[in-house]
């Protein structure tokens, strides 16, 4: 029985070092090893070094050697820290109407918007939702994304939110990538709820939160702070209850108007996501906190809006992750690498900052300290791209796809 797997040589192995989470990063700050190899043991990285040195150290029959005969660059498995891939239906009509100049209100009046997806998701069975998640997560895995956060938030009642979260939990056992579930029951006030925003959030926190804990469905609570969704005043008591029972907090903040990032900082959230509308003031308070800013370029591209001020966040010493926001309404594309590259182009991010945003810093935004960098002891989650220069991965803006994807030390795609 082989104990070790040695794979290499890679023309280049590139990763963040286990360096500060915050601030600008230069390409020189990366770990970069030429002619590198990796030794895997029990799903984890046992050794990383020059390939010929590893070949000399791991010689016994305990080692399975995988010798590569092409140029490959090895980078960490990508992490998508914000998605809504549990949904039914399509919002192609919204997209067409929006692009022909119709307003948010006109689209909602024509039956579109988040409520349309809530209706379709409620009509779907748990099994249909589970299959939809598996299909989308499998496409993500082929594109090198080995950890995927997935939100509920299209159920908006105890029963329907539970249906979504069980679908995510079951899908997790059938996907090669790890799924991290987040409860987004605070997405909007459901149209059929008999009560105001405050009453709805009390109903969710009193009745749903204990079940999430007891059934281990999610450790994370999210809310959409925005005009037409929830105000900061609505959300403070909701998040306070969540924190008191030990949930991590994450926020849809400053997408169209400000207010959300301040809540994120005051509530010591792990991340504040969106931030397209953040001004200097919000950027400063975020950067002076431990909250990770998550840019969602897929939503900017889907809606035709400004990008998150990623450059300013980094230059103010903030921490920046990048996620896809894959959802049927504002971010239907779902292609994380392409979107991260485009954000890099428009926001003038170094390649190291883009890579950190979808690896090391994204792992921190999910409180996962066992992945996101290539280092001894970390999970053996990595991607091989057929090129000799890692800059090609970003230069080709997502069109260079991984030739091989490895998750927990197993090849899951080639
Ligand atoms: O992250 N901003 C709010 N929620 C989602 C969109 C959900 C939808 O439109 O269905 C987002 O963009
Ligand atoms: Fe979102």
CATH number assigned to the domain covering 4-76+373-413: 2.30.40.10
Is residue 330 lining ligand 1, measured as CB closer than 6 Å? yes
Q: What is the pLDDT of residue 18?
A: 75
Q: Which DSSP string corresponds to 112-173?
A: -SHHHHHHHHHHS-HHHHHHHHHHHHHHHHHTTEEEEEEE--S--SHHHHHHHHHHHHHHHH
Is residue 224 lining ligand 1, measured as CB closer than 6 Å? yes
Phi, psi torsion values for 269, nearest 5 degrees: -65, 160
Q: Which DSSP string corresponds to 319-353?
A: EEEE-----SSS-----HHHHHHHHHHHHT--HHH
**CA 184 to ligand 2 center in whole angstroms:** 9
**CA 204 to ligand 1 center in whole angstroms:** 19
Q: CB-based contacts of 109: which residues, under 8 Å, 6+ apart? A: none
Interaxial angle between packed helices 197-207 and 158-174, expressed in degrees from 0 to 180 and rounded to the nearest 10: 50
Q: CB-based contacts of 232: which residues, under 8 Å, 6+ apart? A: 225, 259, 260, 262, 263
Q: CB-based contacts of 370: which residues, under 8 Å, 6+ apart? A: 377, 378, 379
Residue of the nearest CA to atom 3 in ligand 1? 224
Phi, psi torsion values for 28, nearest 5 degrees: -65, -20
- Within 13 Å and on the Cβ side, how many CA atoms surround 120? 18
78-365 adopts what CATH topology?
A: TIM Barrel (3.20.20)
Q: Is residue 34 within a helix (H) or strand (E), and if so which, with residue range?
A: strand 31-41
Ligand number with the minimum distance to the CA of 260: 1
Q: Is residue 183 within a helix (H) or strand (E), and if so which, with residue range?
A: strand 178-186
Q: What is the pLDDT of residue 20?
A: 76
What number does the ligand 1 atom closest to the CA of 113 have? 9
pLDDT tens string, the chain, 414 residues long: the values are 679 999 999 999 999 987 778 999 999 899 999 999 999 999 999 999 999 999 999 987 889 999 999 999 999 999 999 999 999 999 999 999 999 999 888 998 899 999 999 999 999 999 999 999 999 999 999 999 999 999 999 999 999 999 999 999 999 999 999 999 999 999 999 999 999 999 999 999 999 999 999 999 999 999 999 999 999 999 999 999 999 999 999 999 999 999 999 999 999 999 999 999 999 999 999 999 999 999 999 999 999 999 999 999 999 999 999 999 999 999 999 999 999 999 999 999 999 999 999 999 999 999 999 999 999 999 999 999 999 999 999 999 999 999 999 999 999 987
What number does the ligand 1 atom closest to the CA of 82 have? 1
What number does the ligand 1 atom closest to the CA of 325 have? 1
**CA 185 to ligand 2 center in whole angstroms:** 12
Tokens of 275: 């931030």
Q: CB-based contacts of 324: which residues, under 8 Å, 6+ apart? A: 80, 82, 83, 296, 298, 331, 333, 334, 335, 336, 339
Ligand number with the minimum distance to the CA of 228: 1
**Domain boundaries for CATH 2.30.40.10 within the chain:** 4-76+373-413
Ligand number with the minimum distance to the CA of 222: 2
Interaxial angle between packed helices 126-142 and 158-174, expressed in degrees from 0 to 180 and rounded to the nearest 10: 40
**Domain boundaries for CATH 3.20.20.140 within the chain:** 78-365
**CA 249, CA 262: separation in Å to the nearest integer?**
13
> Considering the entire predicted model, what is its pTM?
0.98
Strands 382-385 and 73-76, by their bridges, are antiparallel
292 beta partners: 271, 319
Q: What is the pLDDT of residue 373?
A: 97
Q: What is the pLDDT of residue 1?
A: 63
Which mutation among 88, 114, 152 tests ligand 1's pocket best, with the greatest number of atoms within 8 A of CB?
Answer: 114
What number does the ligand 1 atom closest to the CA of 302 have? 12
What number does the ligand 1 atom closest to the CA of 255 have? 2
CB count, 10 Å around CB of 344?
22
Q: ipTM greater than 0.90, yes or no? A: yes
Is residue 339 lining ligand 1, measured as CB closer than 6 Å? no
**CA 369, CA 103: separation in Å to the nearest integer?**
43
User: Mapping DSSP to helix (H, G, I), strand (E, B) and coil, where does residue 201 land?
Assistant: helix
Residue for token digits 């709820």? 193
Tokens of 113: 């918007």
CA 360, chain centre distance (Å): 11
């Amino acid at each position: 029985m082989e104990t070790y797997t040695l794979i290499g040589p890679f023309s280049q192995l590139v990763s963040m070092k286990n360096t500060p989470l915050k601030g600008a990063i230069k390409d020189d700050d990366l770990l970069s090893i030429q002619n590198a190899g990796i030794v895997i043991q029990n799903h984890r990285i046992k050794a990383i070094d020059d390939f010929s040195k590893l070949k000399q150290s791991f010689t016994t029959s305990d080692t399975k050697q995988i010798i590569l005969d092409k140029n490959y660059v090895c980078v960490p498995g990508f992490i998508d820290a914000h998605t809504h891939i549990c949904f039914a239906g399509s919002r192609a009509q919204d997209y067409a109407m929006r692009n022909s100049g119709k307003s948010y209100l006109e689209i909602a009046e024509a039956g579109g918007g988040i409520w349309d997806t809530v209706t379709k998701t409620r009509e779907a069975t748990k099994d249909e939702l589970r299959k939809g998640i598996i299909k989308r997560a499998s496409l993500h895995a082929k594109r090198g994304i080995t950890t995927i956060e997935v939100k509920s938030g299209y159920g908006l009642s105890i029963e329907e939110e539970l249906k979504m979260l069980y679908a995510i939990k079951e899908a997790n056992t059938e996907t090669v990538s790890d799924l991290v579930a987040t409860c987004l029951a605070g997405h909007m006030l459901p149209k059929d709820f008999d009560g105001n925003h405050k009453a709805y959030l009390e109903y969710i926190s009193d009745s749903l939160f204990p079940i999430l804990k007891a059934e281990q469905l999610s450790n994370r609570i999210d809310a959409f702070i925005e005009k037409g969704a929830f105000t900061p005043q609505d959300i403070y008591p909701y998040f306070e209850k969540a924190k008191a029972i030990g949930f991590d907090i994450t926020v849809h903040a400053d997408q169209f108007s400000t207010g959300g990032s301040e809540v994120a900082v005051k509530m010591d959230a792990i991340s504040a996501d969106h931030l397209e509308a953040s001004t200097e003031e919000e950027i400063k308070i975020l950067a002076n906190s431990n909250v990770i800013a998550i840019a969602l370029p897929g939503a900017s591209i889907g809606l035709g809006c400004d990008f998150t001020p990623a450059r300013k966040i980094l230059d103010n010493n903030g921490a920046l992750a990048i996620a896809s926001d894959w959802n049927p309404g504002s971010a239907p594309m779902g292609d994380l690498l392409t979107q991260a590259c485009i954000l890099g182009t428009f926001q003038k991010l170094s390649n190291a900052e883009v890579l950190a945003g979808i690896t090391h810093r994204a792992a921190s935004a999910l409180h996962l300290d066992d992945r996101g960098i290539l280092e001894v002891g970390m999970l053996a989650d990595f991607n091989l791209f057929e090129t000799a220069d890692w800059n090609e991965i970003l230069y080709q803006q997502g069109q260079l796809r991984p030739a091989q994807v490895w998750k927990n030390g197993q090849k899951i795609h080639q």
